Structure 1
Amino acid sequence: MRIGFVGLGNMGGPMCRNLVKGVNQEVMVHDLNPAAVAARTAEGAKAAGSLAALAGGSEVIFISLPTPRHVEAVAAEIAAHARPGTVLFDLSTNAPAVVKRLHEELAAKGITFLDAPVTGGVARAEDASIVLMVGGEEAVFDRHRAILASFSGTQVHVGPVGSASVAKLVNNMLVLCNMVVAAEGMMVGRAAGIDLSKLVAIIQNGSGDSVGFRGIVARGMQGGFKPNFALDLAYKDLGLAVELAAEHGVPGLMAPQALALMRMARGMGYGGLDSTSVLKVYETLMGQEVRL
């Protein structure tokens, strides 16, 4: 089986590396960043040369891209060059409506499309323990499960196409809202003058702990905002979740507030930093830093 992988960024890069290590198959790769391609070819992958060549020469294709717009562009190129019978897994965080439409368009070309977003962050992409959720034909999921397991620790078939994207957006809505309120809570503690290290210890061992809180502590409160999950991407994900809620008539009371704070942070120039840079909005408004 010939496998293609498109998108070798912070998440796609390590997932592709583990795929190359975990399967005894040829893996062709493509990315607009030549350095990312070189890193993967040094580990055993083969440079495709072009997206068209990868599409025409692969039986199974994985794509890991930043936004729905990027996914649509790459899917169109794959549709133009892939052979009937090709299977395409979209590992990106995408809008359910977009993946449903792509599924229909690609099916007309004889290409099977499954949405397969991941959760767990860069660290779990690196050690192949990341959680993979898949929407689409269950028989296709089962047939490719060994390949999926080469770069993920847990694989869950969620339901039909689009259902995995719903699960991913809900998951990210929770972690990002938790992160925003964690930043606010830490500023309250700082403004009130208590020992932040003791406050953190209490929360980490109490009922207020969360992945979002741990991110604020590990990155924001250390003053290091090197992107683990860039604010621009987090903003895109939460925006998709807010749009999904509106689409289904769910009152948006909490997530839109978190989205507004993230919009402020982006407006202040923090979009390329880690998503925990929302803490810097509070620091700027209050004129004091929240650090351990």
Structure 2
Amino acid sequence: MRIGFVGLGNMGGPMCRNLVKGVNHEVIVHDLNAEAVRACTAQGATAADGLATLAASCEVVFTSLPTPQHVEMVAREIAAAARPGTVLFDLSTNSPTMVKRLHQELAARDITLLDTPVTGGVVRAVDASIVVMVGGDEAVFDQHRALLAAFSGTQVHVGPVGSASVAKLINNMLVLCNMAVAAEGMMIGAMAGIDLHKLTNIIQNGSGDSTGFRGLAARGLKGEFTPSFALDLAAKDLGLAVELAAEHGVPGLLAPQALALLRMARGLGYGQLDTSAMLKVYETMLGREVRLQ
């Protein structure tokens, strides 16, 4: 089998490299970043000379892209060149509405699309322990599960196309809201003058702990804002979750406030930093850094 992989960024790159190491198939890769392509070809992948060439030669294609707009554009390019019967797994965080529309569009060309977002972050992408959520034809999922298992620790079939994207947006909404309130809480602790090391120890061993808090403690509270998950992408994901809530008539009481914090951070120029840079909004407003020294 020839497998295509398009999008070799912070998440796509390690997933692709684990796929190369974990299957006995040829993996063809494409990305606009030549360095990202070289990192995968060094592990045994083959670089495509273009997206159309990749699509025409592969039975299965994975995409891992930044936004729904990128997914839509790339999927249509793939569809224009792919053979009937091609299976497309989109690993991106996506709009459920767009995924459903694209699924119908590709089905008319006899191309099967499954929305296949992942969760666990870059570290777990590197060690192949991430969780893969799959929406779409369950028989197709079962047929290709071994490919997914090559770069993930858990694979969950959620339901029809679009359902996995719903699950991913809710998951990211929770972690981002947790991180937002963690930033606020740590600023309160700093302003109140308590030992932040002790406060962090209490929270991480108490009922206030969360993945969002641990992410803030590991990066933002240490002043390390090199992006693991860029704030711009976090704002996109949370914006999609807020849109999903509105689409289904769910009153948004908390997520829109966290989204406002992310938008403020972007407005202050922190969009390309790590998501934990939302802490810098409080620091900028109050003129005080919150750090574990």
Fold shared by both chains (TM-score > 0.5): yes
How many angstroms does 1:100 deviate by? Answer: 0.2
Per the alignment, residue 30 of structure 1 pairs with 30
Per the alignment, residue 53 of structure 1 pairs with 53
SS in 2 for 1:66: coil
CA distance in 2 between counterparts of 1:290 and 1:42 reads 41
How many angstroms does 1:287 deviate by? Answer: 1.0
Paired residue type of 1:248: H
SS in 1 for 2:77: helix
CA distance in 1 between counterparts of 2:276 and 2:40 reads 29
SS in 2 for 1:24: coil
Per the alignment, residue 93 of structure 1 pairs with 93
CA distance in 1 between counterparts of 2:88 and 2:76 reads 12
CA distance in 2 between counterparts of 1:136 and 1:157 reads 8
TM-score by length of 1: 1.00
Alpha-carbon displacement from aligned partner over 1:225-259 (angstroms, at most 9, x marks no partner): 00011000000000000000000000011000000
Per the alignment, residue 135 of structure 1 pairs with 135
SS in 2 for 1:270: coil
Pairing of 1:209-288 with structure 2 (within 5 A): 209-288=209-288
Paired residue type of 1:58: C
For structure 1, the 5+ residue unaligned runs are none
SS in 2 for 1:198: helix
How many angstroms does 1:35 deviate by? Answer: 1.0
How many angstroms does 1:23 deviate by? Answer: 0.2
Pairing of 1:167-186 with structure 2 (within 5 A): 167-186=167-186
Pairing of 1:177-216 with structure 2 (within 5 A): 177-216=177-216
How many angstroms does 1:286 deviate by? Answer: 1.0
Alpha-carbon displacement from aligned partner over 1:139-185 (angstroms, at most 9, x marks no partner): 00000001110000000000000000000000000000000000000
1:6 matched to 2:27? The reply is: no
SS in 1 for 2:174: helix
For structure 2, the 5+ residue unaligned runs are none
CA distance in 2 between counterparts of 1:222 and 1:273 reads 14
How many angstroms does 1:106 deviate by? Answer: 0.3
CA distance in 2 between counterparts of 1:221 and 1:205 reads 17
CA distance in 2 between counterparts of 1:264 and 1:147 reads 40
Alpha-carbon displacement from aligned partner over 1:65-123 (angstroms, at most 9, x marks no partner): 00000000100101100000000000000000000001000000000000000000000
CA distance in 2 between counterparts of 1:186 and 1:213 reads 10
SS in 1 for 2:134: strand
Paired residue type of 1:102: L
Q: Once superposed, what is the RMSD of the aligned Cα atoms?
A: 0.4
SS in 1 for 2:4: strand
Alpha-carbon displacement from aligned partner over 1:28-71 (angstroms, at most 9, x marks no partner): 00000111111111110001110000000000000000000000
Paired residue type of 1:194: I
Per the alignment, residue 40 of structure 1 pairs with 40
Paired residue type of 2:202: I
The percent of aligned pairs where both chains have the same amino acid is 78
SS in 1 for 2:113: strand
TM-score by length of 2: 0.99
SS in 1 for 2:133: strand
Per the alignment, residue 109 of structure 1 pairs with 109
